[in-house]
Amino acid sequence: MDSLIAVISRKRFRTGWTAFIIVFFLFFVILPTVYILSYAFTNWGSIEQYVLDDPAMLDLILNAISASFQIAAIVTVIDILVGLPMAWMLVRKQFRGKALLDTLIDMPLAVPTAALGFSSAIFFAVTPDALQAPSFALNAVTSPFILIILLHVVFSYPYMVRSLSAILVQIDQTYETAGRTLGASALSAARTITLPLFRAGLVTGIILCFARSLSETGGTMIALATMANSQGFQTGPTIIGMWKPLVETNTDLAAPLAFVSILLILLSLVLLLVIKLVVMKVHLPMGRIWPRPEKLFSRGWFPKTKDGLAVFFLVLFVLIPSFFIFTYVGSVESASFDWGPFTESLLFSFMVAGVVTVIDIALGVPLAVYIAKNRTGKLSDVLDVLVNVPLIVPTAALGYSLGVFWTGQNIIPTYDVLLIILAHVAFTYPLVVRNVAGAVEEVDPAFEETARTLGAKPVQAFRRVLYPIIKSSILAGAIMAFTRSLGETGATQAVVASAQTAPVYIVNLINLKTPSGYYTAGLACIVLIIVSFVFMLALRYITNRRSR
């Protein structure tokens, strides 16, 4: 053991290890993610031939992509508008039932998006008669565009509230109190002092929310399949999901697929930049204070109404749609259900998620530590920016790109499972890195430095001092990676069309459009929800116990 520590403490070994991690990240995560961009250079001819010169095709693609971006933008705006009061309430106010509210917000996070898609579609949308939706379902939405917006709000709202409250917690409340001692009412102080300080954090929230909406595939496909008439509505990712199984027999689709992927990747990266610039540069008229009206709004009915509306929104637009599936399954006639294929697909999903999580932790933690500790270095800066790329690129595009990358080489074998794992690693790896890097940065470097001066080698200092402190963040990263992988449809389908994961299985059931198909799909969703709930609880239990 001692000699092992001596070996890995050598400068040369440490440098080699760091280099390996960085190479892994660049070669296995970043490069496959954006590889498809090269298609535009090597095969521009086919893009012209099959897409640009085919107006119907071009129209279809552009409509789908524009719908994707419109939905993402609208969802983000809604999330901010309703998420901010909720985040504010959770961070700045003390009230009875706060812990309950806090848990309720997290609940939808545990529901896989596939189940969310089915559940919310039954609640919101006008559904076919065969589905036998309960009479108290809203049963009102006929526009697929609106349905998808509602669905995306359901699953992205908790993310937005969480990231907004994370920022809010970090803003010292003393600033606001200082403003109030100077005579500003609570609302004025919040608006002129806290909100401007909020800006940088807001960018992160917006980008994450936007990217999540842009990426979402499984739930979207299921929701569209569930509604009575989806009018052939497509988003960018669902097009990839639709064409990918066909491309093997119809090679004409290769160019359109590449084109959709390229557009999604490029536009999301450009948009990222634009959002960042716009939010940071736009100068809002924050200076002026209107004492009288703001004072009026600081007290009495206004704050109460605002908080009430926030809770109302949470219940009606997030919680009920998330769990409506239980009501549905309880209210319709039961049908026989063949568990075999479903269990298989479920096991497959879990296996993939497990392997992916292990890889993420083993190779993500070192990169996170490197980035966090070399904040002043140029390389670290570049890596830090690159880490965000797979988070922003829609996963369907990422999956397609990655599939093309790996099948086009002869270095590693291209088994389906391996490709799916690599694809999932690509978009979950950044989650772990970002989470852990954030945690490492919060830890006072004095801990490790003191350990070094007490005689600990770098490895020992990490193992005995830093690791126990960041352990819970590593676990949190693992949970995120695991659940993301479990709920992912877009990337899986885009990389291996025939993959039978749980969401794909559910879509197939829904597409039968028979009462028993719908019922079975509902039951499958419930099983999915319960399994991931149990899993999350178990992990949470372990986390709590270990961090005591």
Partner 1 sequence: MPDVKLVGLRKSYGDIKAADGLDLEVKDGEYLCVLGPTGAGKTTLLRMISGLLVPDKGKIFFDGKDFTRMETEERKAALLSQTYALFPQLTVEENIMFGLDIRGADEKLKEQVLISMLDLVRLSGRSEAYPRELSGGMQQRTALARALASGADLLLLDEPLRALDARLRISLRIELRSLVKTLKMTAIHVTHDQDEALVMADRVAVIRDGRILQIGTPKEIWDEPDTPFVANFVGQSNFFTGEVMQSSPYTLLRTPEGTVLKGRSSDLAPGTTAVLGVKIGNTDLSKERKGYLKAKVERIIFEGRNLHVDMMMDNGQRISSKVPSWRKGKIAPGDVVDIYWEESKGTVFPMPPNGLENELKVE
Partner 2 sequence: MVEVKLVGLGKRYGSVTAVEKVDLTVADKEYVTILGPSGCGKTTLIRMIAGIIEPTDGKVYIDGKDMTGVPIEDRDIGYVFQNIALFPHLTVQNNVSYGPRARDLPPEEQKRISRRFLEMVKLLDKMGMLPGELCGGEQQKVSLARALSSGSKLLLLDEPLSALDSRVRVDLRYELRRLAKELGLTTIHVTHDQEEAQSVSDRIVLMRAGTVVETGTPEELYTRPRKIFTANFIGETNLLEGWVLEIKDGVSVIELRNGGNVRVNQADHPVGYAVVISVRPEFVFPADEGMRAIVTAITYMGTYWRVTANTEDEEEVAFDSATLDENLLTIGKEVYLAVNPKAAVLYPRPEDGVQEAIKLE
Interacting residue ranges for partner 1, rule: CB under 8 A: 2, 444, 446-447, 449-457, 460, 464-465, 468-469
Q: Please, what's the b/e burial string for 27-48 (b: 16 or more CB within 10 A of its CB; e: otherwise)?
A: ebbbebbbbbeebeeebeebbe
- What is the SS3 assignment for 400? helix
| 178 sits near partner 2 (criterion: CB under 8 A) | yes
Which CB sits closer to partner 1, 450 or 544?
A: 450
Distance CA 466, CA 474 (A): 12
- Report the residue number, 185 or 220, with the smaller CB distance to partner 2: 185
C-alpha span between 325 and 149 (Å, rounded): 19
Q: Which is nearer to partner 1, 2 or 129 (CB)?
A: 2
Smallest gap from Cβ 14 to partner 1, in A, equals 11
CB of 172 to partner 1, least distance (A): 19
Based on the shown chain and the rule CB under 8 A, indicate whether residue 280 belongs to the binding site for partner 2.
no
302 contributes a contact to partner 2 by CB under 8 A: no
Separation between Cα atoms, residue 124 and residue 216, nearest integer Å: 18
232's contact among partner 1, partner 2, none, with CB below 5 to 8 A by partner kind, is none
Structure tokens given for 545:
């116990």
SS3 25: helix
* Single residue of 87, 193, 211, 470 touching partner 2 by CB under 8 A: 193
Return the one option of partner 2, partner 1, none that residue 469 interacts with (CB less than 5 to 8 A, by type): partner 1
Candidates 71, 72, 50; CA nearest to 61 is 50
C-beta of 175 vs 337, nearer to partner 2: 175
Nearer to partner 1, 454 or 538 (CB): 454
141 by DSSP, 3-state: which? strand
* Sole window of 182-190, 212-220, 435-443, 449-457 interacting with partner 2 (rule: CB under 8 A): 182-190
Cβ proximity to partner 1, 383 vs 451, nearer residue: 451
Nearest distance from C-beta of residue 461 to partner 1, angstroms? 8
Contact with partner 2 (CB under 8 A): which of 16, 196, 308, 445? Answer: 196
State the alpha helices, DSSP H only, in 216-338.
218-226, 236-247, 254-281, 291-298, 301-313, 320-331
Residue pair 176/194 in contact (Cβ under 8 Å)? The answer is yes
| φ and ψ of 16, to 5 deg | -60, -45
Interface with partner 2, residue 177, by CB under 8 A: yes
Nearest to 133 by CA among 142, 144, 124: 124
Choose the stretch contacting partner 2; rule: CB under 8 A; options: 73-81, 185-193, 260-268, 413-421: 185-193
Q: How far is the CB of 193 from partner 2 (least distance, A)?
A: 6
Q: Does residue number 293 form part of the binding site for partner 2 (CB under 8 A)?
A: no
CA distance 366 to 534: 30
Q: Which stretch binds partner 2 (CB under 8 A): 3-11, 95-103, 286-294, 386-394?
A: 286-294
Q: x-or-dash pattern for partner 2, window 231-270, by CB under 8 A?
A: ----------------------------------------
Q: Which of 182, 315, 379, 412 binds partner 2 (CB under 8 A)?
A: 182
Residue 79 vs 448, nearer CB to partner 1: 448
Report the 10 Å Cβ neighbour count for 136.
Answer: 10
Q: Return d(Cα 528, Cα 523) in angstroms, integer.
A: 9
Helices (H) and strands (E) in the chain, counts: 28, 0
* Among partner 2, partner 1, none, residue 96 binds (CB under 5-8 Å by kind): none
**CB-count burial class (<10 Å; 0-12, 13-18, 19+) for 170:** exposed
Q: Which does 185 bind (CB under 5 to 8 A by kind): partner 2, partner 1, none?
A: partner 2
Binding status of residue 172 toward partner 2 by CB under 8 A: yes
C-beta closer to partner 1: residue 300 or 455: 455
Q: Which of 55, 287, 340, 455 binds partner 2 (CB under 8 A)?
A: 287
Nearer to partner 1, 304 or 464 (CB): 464
Q: Is 239 left (phi over 0), alpha (psi -120 to 50) or beta?
A: alpha
Binding residue for partner 2, selected from 188, 261, 388, 520, defined by CB under 8 A: 188
* 27 contacts partner 2 (rule: CB under 8 A): no
CB of 298 vs partner 2, minimal distance in Å: 8
Residue ranges of alpha helices (H) inside 93-189 are 98-106, 113-124, 144-170, 173-181, 186-189
- The DSSP letter of residue 512 is T
For 503, what's the count of Cα atoms within 13 Å in the CB-facing half-sphere?
30
Q: Which residues pair with 141 in a beta bridge?
A: 125
Given a contact cutoff of 8 angstroms between Cβ atoms, the answer to whether 159 and 182 are in contact is: no
Q: 447 contacts which partner out of partner 1, partner 2, none, CB within 5 to 8 A by kind? A: partner 1
Nearer to partner 1 by Cβ, of 204 and 374: the residue is: 374
Would residue 185 be called left, alpha or beta, if left means φ above 0 and alpha means ψ between -120 and 50 degrees?
A: beta
Question: Which residues are near partner 2 by CB under 8 A?
Answer: 172, 174-175, 177-186, 188-189, 192-193, 196-197, 287-292, 295, 298-299
